[in-house]
Amino acid sequence: MLTRKQIELLGFIQKRMMRDGVPPSFDEMKDALDLRSKSGIHRLVTALEERGFIRRLPHRARALEVLRLPDALAHLAEPPKEEAKPAFTPRVITNQRPARPRGALTVVDSPAVQLPLMGRIAAGVPIEAISEVSHHVAVPGTMLSGREHHYALEVTGDSMIEAGINDGDVVVIREQDTAENGDIVVALVDDQEATLKHYRRKGSMVALEAANPAYETRLLPEDRVRIQGRLVGLIRSY
């Protein structure tokens, strides 16, 4: 059973999706529900996700999908839609063997794979993650791990320079939602800002550490940070 605020938020998201085709921002949700801070919205969204009413889509700062509606919001239901296709399917540059199942990334008979460049990632002050695929980049197949999904991001900023990551580099990310201490990860903060940092867990807090003494470590509650992937490779142009 949903609370009144959960139903109110779910109805607001559904109405905006029907009107605009995109979900509202967290600020818009906060204002619509007359809440003082976005932390209350984060708790409501998490509760709706845990109960199977919505889901958050990866690599996007404000992407939510309504999966079902309670009886109280049945009047807002839309006709069933066809299952959405992935925004991209990384492809192996070879035609020597039959196509592999969708999502497979095992590299065979080819030194390179085309990966989507999803936008820019901050190695410095966090910037909003860009969710659109701007183009594809060729990545050595040795950087990829079996059937796991991968994507690429262009680095902006110098906070990871002592880890060998410079402004303008392209990093290859293996999609995953967990990390070990010391991993370099794509971290999404408050579902709005993405940054590339060392990950360290400290009790119920998460430290996002730079590799540049000019930048301070950000220490955040674990519920404000979501791991979007781990660094597995880097491409640099000269």
Under 8 Å between Cβ of 89 and 103: yes
Residue 213: phi and psi, rounded to 5, are: -65, -10
Q: Is 159 a residue of the active site?
A: yes
Q: Which of 197, 202, 204, 237 is catalytic?
A: 197
d(CA 151, CA 107): 15
DSSP annotation string for 166-234: -TT-EEEEE--S---TT-EEEEEETTTEEEEEEEEEETTEEEEE-SSTTSPPEEEEGGGEEEEEEEEEE
Q: Which of 5, 159, 202, 237 is catalytic?
A: 159
Other C-beta atoms closer than 10 Å to the C-beta of 62 total 19
Q: Is 145 a residue of the active site?
A: no
Q: CA 118, 59, 114 angle in degrees (round to 5)?
A: 35
Instruction: Read off the DSSP letter of residue 21.
Output: S
* Residues classed as catalytic: 159, 197
